[in-house]
């Protein structure tokens, strides 16, 4: 997993955008990807990690998965 994918996985706004929690962020991220089209592939990989079933190996360490899960849950509630 690339450093850029991990960057997206640690960005709370990206998490909210990817999970559809904050639809108002869509235009912000669309604008970002127009300026940085080279990041689209990494963002798609990060989104796939966020949406993957819990039993899929995403390449993160166990502690990283736990921290990411906690951040996602706290951003939803």
Evaluate if residue 77 carries a pLDDT over 60: no
Q: Is the pTM of this model over 0.85?
A: no
Evaluate if residue 60 carries a pLDDT over 80: no
Half-sphere exposure of 24 (CA within 13 A, CB side): 0
Poorest-pLDDT segment among 27-36, 40-49, 62-71 = 62-71
Task: Give me the pLDDT at residue 32, please.
Answer: 96
CB 64 within 8 A of CB 10: no
Residue length of the chain: 77
């Amino acid at each position: 997993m690339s450093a850029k994918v991990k960057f997206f996985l640690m960005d709370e706004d990206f998490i909210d955008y990817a999970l559809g929690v904050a639809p108002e962020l869509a235009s912000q991220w669309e604008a970002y990807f127009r300026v940085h089209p080279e990041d689209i592939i990494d963002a798609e990989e990060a989104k796939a990690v966020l949406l993957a079933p819990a039993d899929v190996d995403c390449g993160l360490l166990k502690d990283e998965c736990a921290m990411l899960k906690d951040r996602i849950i706290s951003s939803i509630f």
